[in-house]
Structure 1
Amino acid sequence: MRNSILAITLLAMSGVVAAAEVTVSFEQPEKFTDIRPTNESKSRYQEKVTQAFERFFTDYAAKMPEGYTWQVSVTDIDLAGDIDYFAGPTGQPLRIVKDLYSPAVRFTHTLRDNYGEEVLSGEERLRDMGFMQRISKVGTRAEFEFEQKMLDDWFTKTVQPAVTQHAAIAPKVAQ
C-alpha cells in the first residue's frame, strides 16, 4: 500500500485560504483491473495513474472548508478503453477507447469536519457507462479525462451537498 498525505493551501486574492486535508492511499494497485501501459513501463504508468487520482482528490479537498479531513482508499481502477497489443502501425500496443470499455473506480472514504464529526463515508463503486457521449473539443482530451469527469460528477452530486448540508446544521463556535 502506498500512502501520500496532501495538505492543500490555496492563494486567494484576499489572502491565504486553507482547505481540507486529504489522505489518499492505493490498496494493491498492481492488482487493479486496468492500469496497463501502452508505451512505457508498468511501474512508471502505475505511478502516473495514481498521481493523477491523487491530484483529482486533492482538487476536491480544495473545495471543502478548512479543518475538514478526508481519508480516501482507492481499491480498484479500470481506465476507459482497453489495450490492443497489436493495433499500432508497427505492432506496438494501443489503448482503444470504445463504449464497451467504460471507466470505473472503487474506493472507500471518510470525511470529517473540524470537530471530528463524520460528514460522509462509505464505499463507492463508480462506473460511467455513458462516457463516450460527453462532448469535448476534438484533439483536446486530457489524459484520464473520462475518469476525472466520472469523479467530478460524483463529487458534485454527493460530496458537495453533504458538506453544504452539514455546514448548515453543524454547531457554531462563538469566537
Structure 2
Amino acid sequence: MDLFSIIFELIDLRSFSNLWYWIALAVLWSSASHWVLGVPFDMVGRAAKHGGEAAQDLQDAVRIQVNRLIYISDVSGFILTAFAFFAVTTLLMLGFVYHVEFAQAVVLMLLPMYIVGFINLRTARALRAPHDDEALRKRLTHTRIMIQLVGVASIFVTALWGMYQNLTIGVLG
C-alpha cells in the first residue's frame, strides 16, 4: 500500500463502513447524555451526595444555562429554526434522493440532536421558575433519561441503516 491509499482509507467518505464515524457517533451521544442543559451530570450526583455548596453550585449552573438557552431561543429562535430546517432539508435531499452516503450519515447524527435540543429547551422553560434541590435533581435526571432514550433509538436506527448500506453496496457494488 502506498501513502495515498492509506490516507484515502483513513478519510473514506463511505461513512457507515468507517470506524471514525462510529467513534464520533459514540462520543456525540456520550457527550449529549453527560451535558444535560449544558450542565455536567456529575454535578447532580455530587449535589445529592454532599448537599450544601454542591447543591448551590448545581442551582447556579442550571440557572445560568436556563437563562442562556431561553435568551437564545427568544432572541434568535426563529432564525435558528429556519436554518435548521434548511440544513436538514438539504442533507435529506442529498442523502436520500441523490444517495450521498456522507449526507445520510450526517442526517442520522444531526436530526436526533435537534430532538435533544428541543428536550433541553423544554426543560429549560420548565426550570425557569425556582425549584428546590430534590425537584431540580429529579427534573435533570428525567431529562437525561429522555436524552438517553433518543440516543438508543438513534444508534439503533443508524446501525440498521448502516448495515443496510454496507450490505447493499457490498452486493451491488
TM-score (norm 1): 0.31
* Bigger Cα Rg: 2
TM-score (norm 2): 0.31
Kindly indicate which of the two structures has a greater share of residues assigned to strand: 1
Kindly indicate which of the two structures has a greater share of residues assigned to helix: 2
